[in-house]
Amino acid sequence: MSTIKEITSEDEWRAHVAALHKDTLLIISFHAPWAAPCAQMATVLRTLAAEYPVADPPATSWVSINAEDLSDVSETYDVTAVPYLVLQRNDTVLEAVSGSSAVKVRTAIETHAKKAGDGAATTNGAAENTAAPMEVDEPADPAKAKEELFKRLGELVKAAPVMLFMKGTPSAPQCGFSRQLVGILRDRSVKYGFFNILADDEVRQGLKEYAEWPTYPQLWMDGELVGGLDIVKEELENDDNFLKSYSVAKDEAAAA
């Protein structure tokens, strides 16, 4: 059975990709230790990997990457939230799945793993029809769509104790306000999750209504909106320890 390899450095990542056979399906799982859904996804992927036998050359290769530790790799694949799964073959991205839906992940992996062969699968010597049924577009229910979006947003704002919804990424902010807020969090050693709202217009527009806050960046703490850059600055002026309980430096001092 196949297992999942944890990639811990960019050199290890490059070496792993370079060694793959051109027909091998590479399954890349981006995760972060603070995001609870990632633990659930790790269990799902371990179970799925066990269903694929080890072959020569391997039909599948399973790797796990800490999206924050290997940020350059994450940015290569436009990872804006975790868990995030990328399916790749011969250096070509086939599909990406964002979120913790086990059904979507299994379907994507099974679909592309089958395509590694030279045709349809067979059962008792007869060709099996693997064509997907035709999908019929149905009018979307606006109320239901909004309900599902708000449910997703409710999970996103709680993805980490401190969540920053910003334009760009911490290593490459796309606006001055986002850059300043990243600087504030970094200067105070705050461990935080982030979401690049420029990469998902549904979240970008929906969060304005959900939060009743029309601008970005937005800082959330324990699932509650703090506000934008001006509000964070005001809170720190009133209380210099406003972010202290979320500081990594605090944890290191306590352990010393």
Judge if the upstream peptide bond of residue 57 is cis by omega within 30 degrees of 0.
Answer: yes
CB 58 within 8 A of CB 24: yes
Are 4-118 and 142-255 the same fold in CATH? yes
Show pLDDT as tens, one digit a residue, over the chain (256 residues). 889 999 999 999 999 999 999 999 999 999 987 777 788 788 889 888 888 888 888 899 999 999 888 988 988 898 878 889 999 999 999 999 988 788 888 899 999 987 544 333 333 333 333 334 434 444 457 888 889 889 989 988 998 899 999 998 888 898 999 999 999 999 999 999 998 888 888 889 999 999 999 999 999 999 999 999 999 999 999 999 999 999 987 555 555 4
| CATH superfamily entry for domain 4-118 | Glutaredoxin (3.40.30.10)
| Residue 122, token pair as written in the block | 């067979």
User: Helix H segments across the chain?
Assistant: 10-18, 36-49, 71-76, 102-114, 142-156, 176-187, 201-211, 229-238, 248-255
Global pTM?
0.51
Give the integer Cα–Cα distance in Å for 52 and 2: 6
Give the integer Cα–Cα distance in Å for 204 and 200: 6
Give the integer Cα–Cα distance in Å for 177 and 14: 35
Query: Which one is the CATH code of 142-255: 3.40.50.620, 3.20.20.370, 3.30.360.10, 3.40.30.10?
Result: 3.40.30.10
Q: Which residues does residue 171 pair with via DSSP β-bridges, in sequence order?
A: none
| Domain ranges within the chain, ordered by starting residue | 4-118, 142-255
**DSSP designation for 173:** E
Query: DSSP for 1-52?
Result: ---EEEE-SHHHHHHHHHTS-TT-EEEEEEE-TT-HHHHHHHHHHHHHHTTS
